[in-house]
Structure formats: C-alpha cells, structure tokens
C-alpha cells in the first residue's frame, strides 16, 4: 500500500489553484488587452533566452545574460502565481523584475559600470548600486525630476513586498471586503497584475536588445519589436507615434 507523498490539504489546495487557472484562462480569452500583455511578456522572455544562447567570453556581457535569465524566471513565476490566484505574491516577484530592469538600463547606458558591479563588495555595492542609487543615477542621466521610478518602486513595495496595511488590499476580493486566505480569482486584480507585467516586459525587452551583437537573434528581436509596437499603439499611442 502506498501513501500519498503530498499531504491531503496541499493536494486539495493545488486542485483549487488549477481550477482558478482555468477561470483565469476564460477571463484572458475574453480580453485581447490581457492577451497582448502576455504576448509581449513572452517575447521579452524569448529575448532573454536567445541572448543566453550567444557564446561569449565577455564577462560583462555574461552579467547582462544572467540578469536577463533572472527576468525570464521571474516572469514565469509571476505568471504562474497570477493565474493560480496569488495576486500579491505575483506582484512581489514583479518588483524584482523592476529592480533588475533598472540595473540593466544603467549598465546598457554605461557598460563600464558592469565591471565595477562585478567586483564590488557588499559595502561598495550598497553605496553605488543599491536600488535607490540606481534609480537616482538613471534619473540624473536623463535629467528627470518626475520621480516616476521611485513611485513605481514604492507602489510595488507597499502593495506587495512589505507587510503593512496597504499590502492587505491585494488579499481582498473587494476593496472594503475581508482579506482572503489562500488563492482567489478576481478580474480587476488579475488585470492589474498582467498590465504591470506587460509594461515591465516592454522595458526588459528594450534593455536586453541593447546587449545583443548586431547580427545575433534577429528573429526574436524583430518579433519583440513588432509586439512592442502593437503594445505601444494600444496603450500609449502618443509614445508609439514619436520618432
């Protein structure tokens, strides 16, 4: 007689997650906006996988490859959690993507920083490459005073990463309802997560593309560029029309 390896309650929880995934599929099938967010996310993940396959002895490029792989894994995990009804946990992982894409952006614009980052000890890394320092460096480089990067980081931190009263919002089916233990599917929460995922995927793909050798990965890069253009036309039409 064999015994169940997975405890009964955990097996039951998995069954609920799989049912919620089917519910999520129905919601996504009815909304072409969500389909576009997921399509551009898949395209960014494909870019990360394509860059990974480039054989190079350049240690700085390997850093970009590793960061791209990190975004691939994070997107995959975030999608799985979102479709299984864990909205807060899905968003928590997206904050990791946000930090990673900021770092990629910093390195793409100033490749000499990669070597400094590679050899930095903890003290130097926190001094020069903490999430705050990276955001400040990017804002300074662009002459930006909008603090948009800080606002996005703060939003993910408060709603998903740090235990506080605001983080409980993502554990409720309704804004004024009770918090729910375990997974649940709610259309507005699913849409919000997938929207932020698509927006981050566009940024990830843009930065990864800057590390590609000119003649490498053309099909993946063209595919991402096409979906990025579709995404911008749909959600940011003014930006898409700019030269």
Higher pLDDT, 171 or 104: 104
- 143 confidence band (pLDDT: 50, 70, 90): confident
Q: What is the value of pTM for the model shown?
A: 0.89
> Does any domain span residue 2?
no
Please state, rounded to an integer, the average pLDDT across all residues of the chain: 89
The verdict on residue 107 lying in a domain is yes
Is 47 domain-assigned? yes
What is the pLDDT at residue 1? 43
Residue 193 lies in a domain: yes
Range(s) of the domain holding residue 172: 14-240
Of 146, 123, 124, 119, nearest to 135 by C-alpha is 146
Does residue 179 lie within any of the structural domains?
yes
- Residue 138 domain-assigned? yes
pLDDT at residue number 243: 36
How many domains does one find in the chain?
1
Mean pLDDT of 181-198: 92
122, part of any domain: yes
Between 139 and 29, the more confident residue is 29
Question: What mean pLDDT is predicted for residues 26-32?
Answer: 97
């Amino acid at each position: 007689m064999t015994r169940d390896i997975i405890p009964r309650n955990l097996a039951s929880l998995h069954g609920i997650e799989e049912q919620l995934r089917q519910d999520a599929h129905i919601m996504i099938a009815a909304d072409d906006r969500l389909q576009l967010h997921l399509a551009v996310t898949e395209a960014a993940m494909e870019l990360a996988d394509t860059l990974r396959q480039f054989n190079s002895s350049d240690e700085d490029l390997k850093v970009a490859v590793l960061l791209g792989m990190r975004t691939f894994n994070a997107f995959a995990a975030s999608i799985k959690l979102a479709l299984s009804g864990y909205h807060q946990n899905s968003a928590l992982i997206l904050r990791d993507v946000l930090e990673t894409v900021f770092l990629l952006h910093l390195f793409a614009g100033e490749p000499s920083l990669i070597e400094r980052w590679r050899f930095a000890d903890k003290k130097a890394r926190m001094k020069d490459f903490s999430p705050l320092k990276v955001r400040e460096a990017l804002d300074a480089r662009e002459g930006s005073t909008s603090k948009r990067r800080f606002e996005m980081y703060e939003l993910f931190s408060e709603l998903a990463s740090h235990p506080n009263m605001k983080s409980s919002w993502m554990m409720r089916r309704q804004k004024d309802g009770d918090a729910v233990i375990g997974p649940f599917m709610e259309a507005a929460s699913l849409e919000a997560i997938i929207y932020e995922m698509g927006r981050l995927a566009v940024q990830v793909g843009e930065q990864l593309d800057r590390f590609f050798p000119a003649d490498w990965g053309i099909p993946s890069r063209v595919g991402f560029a096409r979906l990025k253009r579709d995404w911008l036309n749909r959600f940011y039409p003014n930006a898409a029309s700019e030269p």
